[in-house]
Structure formats: C-alpha cells, structure tokens
Structure 1
C-alpha cells in the first residue's frame, strides 16, 4: 500500500516569517485521516525567513528531528546547548522530561527544513540534543541512517524504534530498501520527481508505505530523499 499525499493537498499556515506545510494534523490544521503514520506524528515542511525563527517554547516526551534542506538553523535550549545545523545536516532533540528551546534562522537567506516528530518509546527520559554533519556525497545511490533508536546504526540517537534515512539519486538511478513486516515508511523527495514501486512522487509530496516488503525508488531527475521507517 502506498498512500500518496501531494504537496498541494497538505495543510498549512503562512505567518509571514514562517510558511509551513503539514503532512499530518498540526496546530490549526486538523484532518482525522492524517493524524499520524505509525509512530510518526509530525512532518512539517517549513520555510523560515532570514533573521527570524521560533522563540523559546517547551516540549516533552517527543523525539524531534530537524533535516535542513537549504540555509541553516541555530538551536539554543534550556540544557545549555547551542549549535548551528547547515544544509544537508541533521539535529535531534529528545524532549524527555521537558525542555525549552528556540530555533532561529540567523542567515541572510531563507532556510528550508523538514521538522519530524516521532513518538518516544521512553517517556520521562532525560532530555538531550545533538547534531551531526551528513555530507550528501556519503549517501549517493543509497540510504544512509541519519537518526536511529539502534546504537549500532552509528547515527544520531533517538529514544524510539525508528530510523530517519537520507539518500540522493541521479536521474535514472534506482535504489531498494527492505521494509520489515509490521513496519511503515514515510518517504518525501525534498528535491526531484521519483517513482516508488510504480507510483510517481513529485518534489515535497509524501508517501505513506506499508505492506510493501521491498521499496524500489527510481529517480526521474536528480533527487534528494528523506524517509522514516518506524512501527
């Protein structure tokens, strides 16, 4: 099963400094048919204007992953962490027992990113934050694990039985991914048009995938992929 969610069908909001599109119900956007995909609860496609951002606000018991597509985001939190995450790189925040944080675009250009929330497997855990560079050249033609609940993956740690993966494909290239029984994937091409098991996705469309033992992705044009594999 592949449930396609075209970009133009997504919910959204325009706050001036923030233009957001929501793959799932979020804030003032509510669609009972789009509440979550397994443990994946939020996938927001955000455009943040230069010299603006999210002021300090709280979270608890959620795994929050930020995949920066263009520009950069600067993070600060109540744990004393501060860091800048640039295009192609990833930051994670395990909100745990509670944390306040801000996310600002301190650049002179618009920052675009995917903000992904996954339900935690460890409520009440100690909060944490981390970031890591992931050169796009390291994921050419294959999925690279960017964040994971499995420490053997060598990725950023999250408190969830889930993986966040990234890949790049040249036009005409294909890759495959085995989806274990009982798991679901949600795939979004950040850039480019692709074919997923015979179904076409354009840039920033979403695809909820389940009961497909093998996922085969073929790029119609140069593409950059982000995917979550979870229960």
Structure 2
C-alpha cells in the first residue's frame, strides 16, 4: 500500500520568519489521520529566513534528524555543542533525558531543511548531538544510511531506534530498488524531482507512506534527490 500525500494537502503555517509545512500533526496543525507513521512522528519541511531561527527550547525522548536542503543551520545546545550544518549534510540530536537547543539561520539567504522526529526505542539516556557531511556523489543511484539504529549501518549517524534515515540521488530514467522488511514502514519524500514508486507518481516534496510493499522499485522521472525513513 502506498498512501500518496501531495504537498498541497500538507498542514503548515507561515510565521514570516518561518514557512513550515507539516507531513504529520504538529503545533497548530492537527489531523487524527496523520499523527505518525509507525515510530516516525514528525516530518517538517521548513524554510527559515536569514538571521532568524528557533531560540533555546527543550526536548526529551525524541530522535531529531535535520537534513539541510539549501543554506545552513547553526546549532547550539545545553551540552555545549556548537556546529554549522550545511546543504547536503545531516545532524542528529538524541534528546534522551532532556536537552535544550537553538537552531539559527545565520546565512545571507533562506535555509531550507527537513526536520524529522522518530520515537526512540527506550526513554531516557544521556542526550547527545552529532553532524557529518554526506556527499551527494556517494549516494548516486543508491540509498545510503544517513542516520541509523540498525546493525551494519556503522557509517551513519547513530539514532536510538530500530530504523534508518536514507538519502539517494537518481538521474532521470534511472531505477533503484529497496527491500522493505516484513512489518516495516517507509516514508519517502523527494526533496527535488519526481519519481515513480511501484507505479505511483510521487512529486517533489510530496510524501509517500508505504507499507506491505516488500520491494520498492523507484524510477526517477526527473533528476531527483530522495530522503526516506524506514522504521517499525
């Protein structure tokens, strides 16, 4: 089953400094049919204006993955971590027993990013933060784990849940396959370009909620950049 969620059906709000679109219920957008997809709780498509951002605020018991599409985001937190994550790179914050953080766009242009929240396997634990680059050439024509709590994904940023966040770039006309294990769910969003997933067209920034599809055959209709969560 593939439940297509076109971009223009997503929730969202324009706060001036932040234009956010929500794939799942979040803040002022509430839809009982879109509370989560398995352990995937939040997928926000955010555009942040220059010299603005999210001031310090707390989180607890959540794996928060930030995939930067354009520009860069500057992070600081109550553990003393500081970092700048730019387009093509990924950062992960495991909130654990509790952490405060701030995220600012200190760039001259708009920063666009996906903010993805996944429920951890267990509550508590020491909070942590990390970031690393994932060159797009390294994921050309294949999915690469960007953040993962599954065995065999040691090159990915660690998360505390039995799932993974994957990235791929696919040229128009190319096809890639992905095996989705029994009882697992996938949520795929093309950051750029349109693709066809098992015969279903998924446009840029649309969401595709996928279950009971043992193998995904993804064909690029345009040059495409893909982000996908595979979780229980």
Unpaired runs of 5+ residues, structure 1, are none
The alpha-carbon deviation at position 122 of structure 1 amounts to 2.1
Partner of 1:13: 13
> Quick check: 1:133 aligned with 2:133?
yes
> Quick check: 1:38 aligned with 2:55?
no
> Quick check: 1:122 aligned with 2:122?
yes
Q: Distance in 1 between matches of 2:143 and 2:118?
A: 19
Q: Distance in 1 between matches of 2:12 and 2:50?
A: 20
The alpha-carbon deviation at position 151 of structure 1 amounts to 5.3
Question: TM-score by structure 1 length?
Answer: 0.99
Q: Distance in 2 between matches of 1:152 and 1:125?
A: 23
> Quick check: 1:155 aligned with 2:156?
yes
Unpaired runs of 5+ residues, structure 2, are none
Q: Distance in 1 between matches of 2:78 and 2:152?
A: 29
The alpha-carbon deviation at position 40 of structure 1 amounts to 0.1
Q: How many residues end up aligned between the 2 structures? A: 231
Q: Distance in 1 between matches of 2:81 and 2:209?
A: 34
Partner of 1:28: 28
Please list every run of at least 4 consecutive aligned residues from structure 1 whose deviation after the TM superposition is greater than 6 angstroms.
none
Q: Distance in 2 between matches of 1:150 and 1:174?
A: 25
Q: Distance in 1 between matches of 2:50 and 2:4?
A: 32
Deviations 1:131-187 (A, max 9, x none): 010000000000000000135312100000110000000110010000000000000
Q: CA RMSD in A?
A: 0.6
Partner of 1:80: 80
Partner of 2:213: 212
Q: Distance in 2 between matches of 1:177 and 1:150?
A: 16
Q: Distance in 1 between matches of 2:90 and 2:151?
A: 16
Deviations 1:52-106 (A, max 9, x none): 1000000000000000001000000000000000001100000000000000000
Partner of 1:189: 190
Deviations 1:6-25 (A, max 9, x none): 00000000000000000000
SS at match of 1:123: coil
